[in-house]
Amino acid sequence: MEVTKIDKSNMRKTILDFPKQFKVGVNAAKKTHLEKWSFLTPPENIIVCGMGGSALPGDILVTLRPLDVFSYKSYRLPLQAGNESLIICISYSGNTEETLSSFETAVGRNLPVISITTGGKLAELSKKYKVPCVILPPPYVPPRLALGQMFAALLQVLKNHNLLDDPIINDLLKLGNSLKPADFELKGKKIAKEIFGRIPIIYNSRRFRVVGTIWKNSLNETAKILALANYFPELNHNEIVGLWRINESQISNDKIYVLILRDKESSHPRILKQMEITKNFIEKEGIGVEFIEIKGKNLLEKFFSTIILGFWTSFWLAMEYKVDPTQIKPIDEFKRKLKEK
Ligand code: F6R
């Protein structure tokens, strides 16, 4: 297989370099803060607006820190937004209309807002309305793979407003040096071979739900396939019925493969039991299923090592299907149509 012929924009290098993004994001955001912010009182809530790849930093923050964070993915702003909110609008390209709508709503209501982008309209409008804006530097990578920079920039912005007084940024920078994506490539390649020709279903505990979503999104966008994601224990109260005695007139068993991302070390013991029972059910149905063990010294490492494994799986699946992993024609085409009057 001629990888360089299929991987026209060298996504493989972007994945290999992923941990370097943490430092880039932190540095880019060091000086970005609101002028008139009252540093003594924390905001009532933090609202992180963004779509697709640019929504992921907010989703991760929701799980990692006990802050009152809402990850918002639509037009305007959620009901929780008010004068006591800190609103952070993230759009990697700077041209996503839903995020621009949230930004303009915040500016229109004179709410405390900050933006994170590489440029585009979001940078332009931030300049026009004097909104503090983090400009992420080139090279431009696919937004879903710019997660490291965007997440690091988001953390740094919170730190700039005294909203993070713990070592998470240092831990992230340390991880930037120690995490080696090359260590996970073979495993990703192996998983890609197993799920080739099938619909992958990603299951994990609730704490890892954003990681499961990233696997799903990445399989959608990079490998250009349908994929599903759900989490324990909720899935055992509905989705399990769809898998058990699968309706063969809908889809045959051999067209599905279930990957269970499992953190044996820190999951609730009952969740681990649920995972075992579910795996047995699925196996009895003759559906392919396996555990993917989540590893890492802390939650941050567990998140990012598993996310990178998901990137590799999608990348190597794209190689199996011989599709360019970077291009996302349907999203581009959709955005073009949406712009038409
Ligand atoms: C592309 C990707 C998409 C975009 C989304 C929003 O890699 O992941 O989900 O992130 O269409 O665009 P941006 O991120 O430019 O605001």
163-173 pLDDT, tens digit per residue, is 987 799 999 99
Rounded-to-integer distance, Cα 111 and Cα 251, Å: 49
- Between the alpha carbon of residue 59 and those of residues 51, 198, 292, the distances in Å are 11, 28, 22
What is the spatial distance between Cα 336 and Cα 319, in angstroms, rounded to a whole number? 28
CA proximity to 143, closest of 116, 177, 170: 116
Encoded amino acid at 341, one letter: K
Is the CB–ligand 1 distance for residue 267 below 6 Å? no
Alpha helices, DSSP H only, in 40-181? 56-64, 97-108, 120-128, 147-160, 168-178
- The atom number, within ligand 1, closest to the CA of 93 reads 15
**pLDDT digit string, tens, across residues 40-95:** 578 889 999 999 999 999 999 999 888 889 999 999 999 999 988 999 999 999 99
- What are the Cα distances from residue 253, in Å, to 85, 288, 310, 340? 48, 8, 23, 42
Cβ of 331 less than 6 Å from ligand 1: yes
* Angle value at C-alpha 312, between 308 and 316, nearest 5 degrees: 170
Q: How far apart are CA 41 and CA 200, in angstroms?
A: 46
Query: How many DSSP H helices and E strands does the chain contain?
Result: 14, 9
Q: Which of 49, 71, 74, 93 to mutate to test the pocket of ligand 1 (most atoms within 8 A of CB)?
A: 93
> Which atom of ligand 1 is nearest the CA belonging to 144?
8
Which of the listed residues 9, 56, 96, 307 should we mutate to test ligand 1's pocket, taking the one with most ligand atoms within 8 A of CB?
96
- The CB of 263 under 6 Å from ligand 1? The reply is no
**Cβ burial, residue 91 (10 Å; 0-12/13-18/19+):** buried
Q: Which atom of ligand 1 is nearest to the CA of 54?
A: 14
Chunked mean pLDDT (size 10), the chain, 341 residues: 93 98 98 77 91 97 90 97 94 98 97 97 98 97 98 96 88 98 98 98 97 98 98 96 82 94 97 98 93 96 98 98 97 94 75
Q: What distance in angstroms lies between residue 254's CA and the mean position of ligand 1's atoms?
A: 32
193-222: per-residue pLDDT in tens? 999 999 999 999 999 999 999 999 999 999
Tell me which residue has tokens 């044996």.
Answer: 264
User: Per DSSP, what are the bridge partners of residue 288?
Assistant: 257
Instruction: Give the number of the atom of ligand 1 that is nearest the alpha carbon of residue 50.
Output: 16
- The letter for the amino acid at 273 is K
Nearest CA to ligand 1 atom 1: 143
